[in-house]
């Protein structure tokens, strides 16, 4: 029993991190159509900001979450204004541009703070472990799960019940018609990008106590998060939630039972097959067509 629970909890822990990273990516892709290859670097920058706030100003991780969100949202906003906004009519090129931005961000961090590993302190109140149904789990992992669900809930409320969310959904369904109804798409795109980058920053800050912070840490996240987006489809937030759950549990299971390399290859093959046979993702919103 406790093995099953602890296995389940490991999966949920991976899933919550995946969802934090993928949420921003999914929103940006769903609304603007841009596959943001620099998303992993936004995660990495978020982790570095957390580290900098902690070592320079002595701020605790919990207290620095809001500043991190704001700083990363500003970074996302700048990237959108300076680069992405010029490329909306050449979507294939946004892959290249965002990748270039990612390379620059990585190298800039390496030049400014060095390539060695950095560590972020876990909030003291959360460094205990908790027992659930006979299985022990670290309180911090539960906290991440909680925060991930809360952020998802917040995004869901924005998406569902605000004027901004209504515009987002309209653009996701049909860009051209939405803009002909007077929605200022340029402004919405900018805000979406800022919001997505802010979320990525939060994800980076939250995982930073679990893993060491390095300039390369983003690359693995962007691949996994992209798989969540492909699996979940871009039409619905619920798809993102469900697919990060599935992928989290699956990778927890695969890492436990099998050869790592082959597991990775199999997941990639599955993604390729999914793109080929069900490009809209497994979960799609019901929209009147």
Partner 1 sequence: MSGKTKTEIAIYAVVCLAILLVPLFLDDAFLLNKYARYLVLGMLAIALSLSWGYAGILNLGQATTFGLGSYCMAMALKLKTIPVHTGSDGLPDFMVWNNVAELPWFWKPFYSMSFGVAAGILIPVLFAALLGWFMFRGRVTGVYAAITTLAAMVVVQLLIIDQQAYTGGFNGITDLAQFDVAGFAFDAYGPAIYYLVAICLTASLFVALAITKSKAGLIVQAIRDEEDRVRFFGYDVALYKIFIFSVSGAIAGLAGMLYTIVMEFASPTFLGVPISLSVVIWVAVGGRQSLLGAMLGALVVTGMQGALSESETFLDSWTLIMGLLFVLVVLFLPKGIAGAVETIAGRFERRRVLARRRSKRADAVGTARHLESLP
Site residues, partner 1 (CB under 8 A):
35, 83, 86-87, 90-93, 95-97, 99-104, 106-108, 110-111, 226, 230, 259, 261-262, 264-265, 268-269, 271-272, 275-277, 279
Q: How far is the CB of 280 from partner 1 (least distance, A)?
A: 11
CA distance 218 to 283: 26
Q: Would you say 3 or 108 has its CB closer to partner 1? A: 108
Question: Chain centroid to CA 115: how far?
Answer: 23
Q: How far is the CB of 251 from partner 1 (least distance, A)?
A: 15
Q: How far is the CB of 180 from partner 1 (least distance, A)?
A: 22
Q: How far is the CB of 94 from partner 1 (least distance, A)?
A: 9
The tokens describing 217, both together, are: 């840490």
Q: Is 278 left (phi over 0), alpha (psi -120 to 50) or beta?
A: beta
Q: Would you say 109 or 148 has its CB closer to partner 1? A: 109
CA distance 11 to 219: 21
Question: Chain centroid to CA 84: how far?
Answer: 19
Q: Would you say 78 or 150 has its CB closer to partner 1? A: 78
Q: Would you say 133 or 262 has its CB closer to partner 1? A: 262
Q: How far is the CB of 228 from partner 1 (least distance, A)?
A: 14
Contacting residues for 49 by C-beta, under 8 A, at least 6 apart: 64, 67, 68, 71, 72, 201, 204, 205
CA distance 131 to 188: 44
Q: How far is the CB of 3 from partner 1 (least distance, A)?
A: 28
CA distance 18 to 146: 13
- Three-class secondary structure of residue 50 per DSSP: helix
Q: Would you say 97 or 191 has its CB closer to partner 1? A: 97
Q: Would you say 140 or 189 has its CB closer to partner 1? A: 189
């Amino acid at each position: 029993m406790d093995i099953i629970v602890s296995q389940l909890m490991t999966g949920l822990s991976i899933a919550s991190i995946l969802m934090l990273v993928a949420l921003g990516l999914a929103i940006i892709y769903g609304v603007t159509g841009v596959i943001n290859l620099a998303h992993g670097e936004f995660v990495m920058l978020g982790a570095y900001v957390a580290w900098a706030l902690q070592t320079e100003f002595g701020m605790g991780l919990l207290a620095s979450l809001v500043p991190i969100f704001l700083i990363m949202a500003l970074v996302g906003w700048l990237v959108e204004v300076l680069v992405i906004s010029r490329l909306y009519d050449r979507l294939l090129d946004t892959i290249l541009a965002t990748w270039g931005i990612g390379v620059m961000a990585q190298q800039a961090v390496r030049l400014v703070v060095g390539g060695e590993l950095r560590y972020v302190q876990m909030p003291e109140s959360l460094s205990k472990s908790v027992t659930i149904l006979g299985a022990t789990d670290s309180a911090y992992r539960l906290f991440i799960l909680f925060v991930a669900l809360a952020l998802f809930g917040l995004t869901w409320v924005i998406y569902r019940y605000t004027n901004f969310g209504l515009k987002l959904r309209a653009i996701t369904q049909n860009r051209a018609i939405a803009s002909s109804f007077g929605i200022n798409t340029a402004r919405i795109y900018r805000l979406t990008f800022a919001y997505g980058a802010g979320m990525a920053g939060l994800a980076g800050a939250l995982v930073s106590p679990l893993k060491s912070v390095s300039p390369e840490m983003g690359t693995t996240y962007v691949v996994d998060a992209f798989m969540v987006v492909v699996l979940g489809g871009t039409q619905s937030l619920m798809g993102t939630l469900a697919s990060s759950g599935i992928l989290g549990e699956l990778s927890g299971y695969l890492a436990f039972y099998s050869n790592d390399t082959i597991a990775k290859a199999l997941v990639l093959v599955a993604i390729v097959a999914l793109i080929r046979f069900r490009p809209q993702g497994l979960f799609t919103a019901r929209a009147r067509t």
